[in-house]
A and B are shown apart, each in its own frame.
Chain A
Amino acid sequence: MKLLRGGRWITAAGLVLLAAVYVRALAFTPIERFQGPAQKIFYVHVPAAWCAMLAMGLVGVAGILFLLLKDPRFDRFGEASAEVGTVFSLVMLTTGPIWAKPIWGTWWTWDARLTLTLFLFLLFLGYLLLRGAVTDPGLKARYSAVLGICGLVLLPFIHLSVYLFRTLHPQPIVLKPSAPSLPGAMLVTLLFSFGVFTLLYVGFVVQRYALSILREPAEARDHHA
């Protein structure tokens, strides 16, 4: 299958480039004076958070398009993006506390940003559980679309939570109205990492989408049995 092969190649390229991100971040990017080497967690944590939010955003958009057009390809894409988003959320939620411990002195705090990102992860899990629990394909697609739209609505709150509430989490330093406040070498590494994580997201989603197509005949058999 051409789509699957394409997804595999994109993923393979993404993984090779991820190794290059690691080399650049660890060996060729300066250490931040106040936070020390732990600050370099930034180069995996922030792109993972970006991909998790991108994934949920696209699940929501796919949900809207499915409800409007009833095209099963949007439902299939939503499923693929949700599974991949769960993986990136997991990277975000594990690297975040590992960074927080040496800098904040605690692994976790129940402030708005952290709680909302945990909620995002739980929404992804809920989405996947819902798909596993509902057997009727039409109902499954409709319920999933609605849950995906709920996730889309959550995203602005996550992004703005650091402005709206008192929180330990730093404010955005790249995705903000003014220019990014990072030294050049750090910004280049971050943007490179953003690109590679996005490429990995695309490779994973294409493969997962192809897997849904491959599974379709078996699922249809199970439904009619």
Chain B
Amino acid sequence: MPEGIPQNAGFMVAAYVTAAAILLGYALSLYRRTLKP
């Protein structure tokens, strides 16, 4: 990464993982609920 750019990639990774976990979790929840309504 070029010099002078803030080193905060950890926050980016945390946000992307959180978003994916919420969306995948909800997709899975919907799938399970529609199997046994």
Contacts and interface: CB of A to CB of B under 8 A. Distances in A.
Given A15-B27, A33-B4, A204-B26, A98 B14 contact: yes
Main secondary structure of the interface of B (DSSP, over half): helix
Main secondary structure of the interface of A (DSSP, over half): helix
26 contacts: A8-B34, A11-B27, A15-B23, A18-B20, A22-B16, A22-B20, A31-B1, A33-B4, A34-B6, A37-B1, A37-B6, A37-B11, A38-B11, A40-B12, A40-B16, A41-B11, A41-B15, A41-B16, A45-B15, A98-B11, A98-B15, A98-B18, A204-B27, A208-B30, A211-B33, A215-B37
Given A87-B26, A214-B34, A102 B19 contact: no
Contacts of B16: 22, 26, 40-41, 44
Contacts of B5: 31, 33, 36-37
A141 to B, nearest CB: 20
Interface in A29-54: 31, 33-38, 40-41, 44-45, 48
A187 interface: no
B34 A36 contact: no
